[in-house]
C-alpha cells in the first residue's frame, strides 16, 4: 500500500477527504506498489489488463510515425506468457508502466536472464518506450536499477530480449528509414535520454540496404564450387515446411555454435529452438532458406531470408483478424523486396568460404523470383567479413541504420 508520510493534510477535513481518496485510488488500480518521481507514478504490471496496456502503449506513442512497424499483439502477449514462452524456464521478467496525470507515458521490461546474471552479473532491460520527458525515462530505468541491486547485479544493459530472437538494439541513426518487422523503432530522443542518464555504448549493429544485383561475380561462384569439393559439402534440398521443421533443430544447433561470441548471446535451449521453428520458420517458403551440410548431413551453415512484411504489418496494425492475415499472405506471395534475417556458420568453417555457397544458392533463386531490393538486418559493426561480402555482391556500402545496446554500471563487482 502507498502512504504519503508527513502529509500536510491533517487539519482540514476537506483536504483529509481528498487525500484519503487519492491514496485509495492509486492503491486499488490492480497493480503492485506505485512509486512517485516528481509527478510520475511507476506501477508494476501484475494482470492481463495491465499487460495489454503495456503492449498497447507504443500504438499510441507512434500513432503518427510513418516509420514504426506495429508488432502482432498476439505475439507480444505470448512473449510474456509463462505457459507459452520457453525462455521462462531460465528467465524472469518484471514489467512497469509509467503514468503521468493518469495517462500512460512509458513502459519498460526488466529481464533476469539466469545464465547471464550468474556469469556476468548483468540484468537486461527491453521493451522500453517513453515520451520525451527525462523524468519518465529516469523513473523507468531506476526501477530496473533497483531490481538489479536486489539481485546483486553490477550492470544493466539493453534494449535486449529474453534471447537473440527478440527485439534488441536502440536506434541511434537512420530514424527516417523503413523498419523491418524484426527490429526496434524509436524516436531520436531515446538515446539522448539514456546517455544523459549515464548509459554508455556496449555494442553497435548496422543495417544495410541495396538494390538486388542479379549477376553474381564469377569469382564467388567458382569459390563456392571449390569449397564444396574441398570440404565435401552440399546444399540441402528443401521442398516443404515439413523439411524446414525437420532440419530446424540442426539449424539452431549451428546457430548456437556460430553466435557464441556475439554480444548478449546465450545458447537457445532445444525447447526454445523448436518454439522458434514452429512460430517463425514453419510458414516460410523453402526457397528463402539455404542449408549447407557435411557428408553426415549435419548443417554447417545456413541463410534465411524473408519477403519484406513491413507494409503488411502496418496495414494489419497488430491484428491478424479480420484482415491482417490477408495483407501478410499477399506480401509473402507477391513481393520483390526481401529482408535477410539470419546467417550462421559453424566456427570450424567460418574461414573456409562456405558463406559463398549460401549466397550463390540464394542469389540464383532471387534472380528467378525477380527480386528488386535487399535489406540486411542488424550486423555487429565488427563483422567486416559480411560487410565486404555485401559489397562484392553489389549491395554497396550504404549503412541505413545503426543500433546500440547501452550499458550502465550500478556497483563494483564483489565476491558474492
- 1 in any annotated domain: no
pLDDT class of 310 with cuts at 50, 70, 90: very high
Q: Using one digit for the tens of pLDDT, what is the confidence trace for 142-186?
A: 999 999 999 999 999 999 999 999 999 999 999 999 899 999 999
Residue reference for cell 485509495? 24
Residues 156 and 281 in one domain: no
Residue 224: give its domain's CATH number: 3.40.630
Residues 108 and 143 in one domain: yes
Task: Give the model's pLDDT for residue 17.
Answer: 37
The bridge status of strand 155-158 relative to strand 122-130 is parallel
- 117 in any annotated domain: yes
Residues 146 and 167 in one domain: yes
Q: Which of 206, 222, 243 is the last residue of a domain?
A: 206
Cα end-to-end distance, the chain, whole Å: 32
Q: Which of 279, 276, 312 is nearest to 178 (CA)?
A: 312
Task: Give the model's pLDDT for residue 398.
Answer: 78
CB 286 within 8 A of CB 243: yes
CB 39 within 8 A of CB 134: no
DSSP state of 278: H
CB 172 within 8 A of CB 403: yes
Q: Using one digit for the tens of pLDDT, what is the confidence trace for 184-216?
A: 999 999 999 999 999 999 999 999 998 998 888
- 275 in any annotated domain: yes
Residues 29, 32, 33, 38, CA torsion sign: negative
- 68 in any annotated domain: yes
Residues 290 and 179 in one domain: no
Residues 36 and 172 in one domain: yes
- Considering its fold, how many domains does the chain have in total? 2
Residues 72 and 106 in one domain: yes
Residue reference for cell 550463390? 360
Q: What is the pTM of this model?
A: 0.88
Contacts of 298 (CB under 8 A, 6+ apart): 250
User: In angstroms, rounded to a whole number, what is the distance separating the alpha carbons of residues 264 and 293?
Assistant: 27
- 194 in any annotated domain: yes
Task: Give the model's pLDDT for residue 25.
Answer: 40
Residues 99 and 226 in one domain: no
Nine-digit cell string for 121: 552479473
Cα pseudo-dihedral 150, 153, 159, 164, rounded to 10: -120
Residue reference for cell 515520451? 131
Is pLDDT above 80 for 27? no
User: In angstroms, rounded to a whole number, what is the distance separating the alpha carbons of residues 147 and 96?
Assistant: 12
Residues 193 and 230 in one domain: no
Residues 177 and 240 in one domain: no
- 47 in any annotated domain: yes
- 378 in any annotated domain: no
Residues 217 and 366 in one domain: yes
Residues 128 and 254 in one domain: no
Contacts of 392 (CB under 8 A, 6+ apart): 217, 220
Q: Which of 185, 206, 227 is the last residue of a domain?
A: 206
Residues 232 and 312 in one domain: yes
- Sheet strands (E) in 297-410: 299-307, 337-345, 373-380, 399-409
Domain containing 106 equals 31-206
CB 121 within 8 A of CB 153: yes
- 186 in any annotated domain: yes
Q: Which of 149, 176, 206 is the last residue of a domain?
A: 206
Residue 105: give its domain's CATH number: 3.40.630.30
Q: Which of 19-33, 280-294, 318-332, 370-384 has the lowest mean pLDDT?
A: 19-33
Residues 264, 267, 269, 274, CA torsion sign: positive
User: What are the DSSP calls for 78-104, one per residue?
Assistant: HHT-TTT-GGGGTEEEEEEEEEETTEE
User: In angstroms, rounded to a whole number, what is the distance separating the alpha carbons of residues 258 and 301?
Assistant: 9
Is pLDDT above 50 for 6? no
Task: Give the model's pLDDT for residue 38.
Answer: 53
pLDDT class of 415 with cuts at 50, 70, 90: low
Amino acid at each position: 500500500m502507498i502512504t504519503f508520510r508527513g502529509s500536510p493534510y491533517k487539519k482540514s477535513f476537506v483536504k483529509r477527504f481528498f487525500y484519503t481518496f487519492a491514496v485509495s485510488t492509486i492503491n486499488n488500480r490492480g497493480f503492485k506498489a506505485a512509486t512517485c518521481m516528481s509527478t510520475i507514478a511507476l506501477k508494476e504490471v501484475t494482470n492481463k489488463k495491465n499487460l495489454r496496456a503495456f503492449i498497447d502503449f507504443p500504438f499510441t506513442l507512434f500513432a503518427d510515425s510513418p516509420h514504426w512497424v506495429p508488432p502482432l499483439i498476439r505475439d507480444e502477449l505470448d512473449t510474456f506468457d509463462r505457459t507459452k514462452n520457453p525462455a521462462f524456464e531460465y528467465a524472469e521478467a518484471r514489467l512497469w508502466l509509467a503514468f503521468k496525470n493518469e495517462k500512460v507515458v512509458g513502459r519498460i521490461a526488466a529481464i533476469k536472464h539466469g545464465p547471464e546474471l550468474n556469469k556476468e552479473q548483468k540484468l537486461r532491460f527491453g521493451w522500453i518506450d517513453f515520451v520525451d520527458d527525462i523524468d519518465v525515462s529516469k523513473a523507468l530505468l531506476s526501477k530496473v536499477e533497483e531490481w538489479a541491486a536486489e539481485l546483486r547485479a553490477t550492470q544493466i544493459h539493453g534494449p535486449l530480449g529474453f534471447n537473440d530472437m527478440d527485439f534488441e538494439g536502440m536506434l541511434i541513426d537512420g530514424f527516417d528509414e523503413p523498419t523491418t518487422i524484426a527490429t526496434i523503432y524509436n524516436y531520436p530522443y531515446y538515446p539522448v535520454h539514456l546517455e544523459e542518464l549515464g548509459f554508455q555504448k556496449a555494442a553497435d549493429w548496422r543495417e544495410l540496404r541495396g538494390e538486388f544485383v542479379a549477376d553474381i561475380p564469377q569469382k564467388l561462384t567458382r569459390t563456392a564450387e571449390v569449397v564444396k569439393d574441398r570440404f565435401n559439402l552440399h546444399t540441402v534440398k528443401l521442398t516443404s515446411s515439413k523439411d524446414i521443421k525437420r532440419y530446424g533443430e540442426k539449424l539452431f544447433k549451428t546457430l548456437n555454435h556460430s553466435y557464441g561470441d556475439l554480444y548478449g548471446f546465450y545458447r537457445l535451449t532445444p525447447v526454445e529452438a523448436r518454439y522458434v521453428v514452429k512460430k517463425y520458420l514453419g510458414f516460410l517458403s523453402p526457397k528463402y532458406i539455404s542449408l549447407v551440410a557435411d557428408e553426415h548431413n549435419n548443417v554447417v551453415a545456413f541463410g534465411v531470408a524473408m519477403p519484406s512484411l513491413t507494409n503488411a504489418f502496418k496495414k494489419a496494425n497488430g491484428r491478424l483478424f479480420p484482415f491482417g492475415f490477408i495483407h501478410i499472405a499477399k506480401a509473402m506471395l507477391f513481393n520483390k523486396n526481401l529482408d535477410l534475417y539470419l546467417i550462421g556458420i559453424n566456427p570450424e568453417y567460418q574461414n573456409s568460404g562456405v558463406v559463398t555457397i549460401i549466397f550463390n544458392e540464394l542469389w540464383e533463386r532471387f534472380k528467378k523470383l525477380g527480386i528488386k531490393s535487399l535489406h540486411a538486418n542488424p550486423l555487429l559493426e565488427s563483422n567486416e567479413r559480411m560487410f565486404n561480402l555485401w559489397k562484392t555482391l553489389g549491395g554497396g556500402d550504404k549503412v541505413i541504420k545503426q543500433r546500440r545496446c547501452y550499458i550502465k554500471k550500478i556497483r563494483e563487482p564483489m565476491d558474492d
